[in-house]
Amino acid sequence: MSTNDNNKFQAIIAHAKEYGFVFPSSEIYDGLSAVYDYGPWGSELKKNIRDYWWKSMTQMHENIVGVDAAIFMHPTTWKASGHVDNFSDPMIDNKDSKKRYRVDHLIEAHAETLPEQESAALLSEMEKLLAEEDFAAVKKLIEDHKIKCSISGTANWTDVRQFNLMFKTEFGAVASDNQEDNIVYLRPETAQGIFVNFLNVQKTARMKVPFGIAQTGKAFRNEIVARQFIFRMREFEQMEMQFFCRPGTQKEWFEYWKNARKQWHLSLGIPEEKYRWHPHAKPAFYADNAGDIEYEFPIGFKEVEGIHSRTDYDLTQHQTYSKKKLQYFDNDIDEATGKPYGNYVPYVIETSIGLDRMFLLILSQAYDEETLAKEDGSSETRTVLRIPPKLAPIKLAILPLTKKDGLPEIARNIMNNCRDEFYCFYEEKDAIGKRYRRMDAIGTPFCITVDHQTKEDNTVTIRYRDTMTQERLPIAAIKELVKDKIK
């Protein structure tokens, strides 16, 4: 990672706070590590990304419906899913600083300081050893490369061991003799809420395999080393879709969703070269195929979305633990036998995208600093967020040139006419140039200026964020023009 890339990442973080996108949570109390709040424009942008994903999954697919499952689930859910026994990350502690690290993060951070060839070799060896769960060899790898703790500066390490990432809490107000009776978990993923509702959804929505169930919502993971701003947090939001298909068809559906999800990303106008596909060398224990869509952040290529072929693991596990059948009767005719396929537990293809990571992706792609020449021969820097108009927090800013002569009243009327279709923003403070710059920094794609000519011919000036070009248009044409641009 180059210094310039890191500088850009830090600039994005500072910009996100200064302009009301993301704040450190509980900041007046010095914050809470790896927990963030979304400000006025961040909450709008986040909502717009979520809505765009939801529409693409449910409204645009007649065989995908949505659910909104509870965060709290019966604790046996997590036993059945494997999270109680398997949802762990290999950790290592520095004996001097007492700081705990996820070993892959520790090694990755060291790899970033090495020449490209050495870095690739180290990461390859790490992935191999972790896949084999050879933790003694992983520790030796750390020691051989003299990887040190960032706090103590020493390489005095404990053995590598597994650490469960689920948050525990107590459920209910009545104490029990056995404290374990009251233990529930904050969900570490949203997928299980879909699986336990498989039959409820299938029957009530009258769905026929293949079909999907989509969900967005909060998940919680007790990350030991949460870092890189909102890229890795302890409280985050997922947008997941579980697609149920007939056993034996999962390979073709995996490829279908792998390509479909790539096209969704490209539909936002992001260059294809900013993405790459990273297949998993060893998929998770429940999967027969898996890979990640990665985006080139300023901090390098990182996972944004996972595509997993989860087989029938989840439904079978819940069927076993609950002793309730989670099967589908398929009356389509199997050409090989001439008989209906009958009862089976469907296979599942999962698409899982982190909403917070997608938010960071949009900011990273949109953030730009450009140098503008001034008439006196000097220059200035314009900071602009080139957010896709369909996702921009504010679609249209309406700016009266002055606070008098009836211009604010005309501007307010324009806003009242447009705000039922898209988010509008009214501002009359400061010179028009300063207002344009603020709107650039927030990512507003269109600004309307109401001036004295407006009173004569009912036209206004529209300014385009990306090119800064301006043109006159009738007031009556504003709403349709903006609606068309943000489709």
Q: At what angle do helices 40-54 and 355-366 cross, to 10 degrees?
A: 110
Of all residues in the chain, what percent carry a pLDDT higher than 90?
Answer: 81
Helix, coil or strand: residue 465? coil
What pLDDT, on the 0 to 100 scale, is given for residue 1? 38
Q: Which residues contact 124 (CB under 8 A, 6 or more apart)?
A: none
Q: What is the Cα–Cα distance from 443 to 133, expressed in whole angstroms? A: 46
Q: Give domain 88-164's CATH architecture.
A: 2-Layer Sandwich (3.30)
- The per-residue pLDDT for range 89-132, each reduced to its tens digit, is 898 999 999 888 889 889 998 998 999 899 999 999 998 898 88
Name residue 404's amino acid: K
Q: What is the pLDDT of residue 286?
A: 86
302: pLDDT strictly greater than 60: yes
Could you report the per-residue pLDDT of 151-198, keeping only the tens digit for each?
A: 999 999 999 988 888 898 888 765 555 556 678 999 999 999 999 999
Domain spanning 394-485, CATH class: alpha beta
Q: What local confidence, expressed as pLDDT, does residue 178 receive? A: 53
445 against 2, higher pLDDT: 445
Cβ atoms within 10 Å, residue 135: 18
pLDDT band, very low/low/confident/very high, at 284 (cuts 50, 70, 90): confident
Which part of the chain has CATH 3.40.50.800? 394-485
Distance between CA atoms of 449 and 459, rounded to whole angstroms? 10
Digit-coded pLDDT (tens) for 64-74: 999 999 999 99
- CA distances to 20, 33, 189, 417, 422 from 166, rounded to whole Å, are 31, 17, 10, 49, 39
Find the range with the poorest average confidence among 129-138, 145-154, 221-230, 239-248. Answer: 221-230
Q: Find the farthest-apart pair of alpha carbons in the chain and give their distance in angstroms, rounded.
A: 83
Percent of the chain scoring above 70 in pLDDT: 97
| CA–CA separation, 145 and 138 (whole Å) | 11
Summarize pLDDT for 415-469 with one digit per residue, the tens: 999 999 999 999 999 999 999 999 999 999 999 999 999 999 999 999 999 999 9
Measure CA 436 to chain center. 29
Confidence of residue 200 (pLDDT cuts 50, 70, 90): very high
Question: 248, exposed or middle or buried, with CB in 10 Å at 0-12, 13-18, 19+?
Answer: exposed
Q: Rounded distance, CA 276 to CA 291, Å?
A: 10
Q: Which CATH architecture has domain 3-72+177-362?
A: 2-Layer Sandwich (3.30)
Residues spanned by CATH 3.30.40.230 within the chain? 88-164
Kind of pairing, strands 183-186 and 211-220? unpaired
CA atoms of 288 and 300, how far apart (whole Å): 28
Q: Where in the chain is the domain with CATH 3.30.930.10?
A: 3-72+177-362
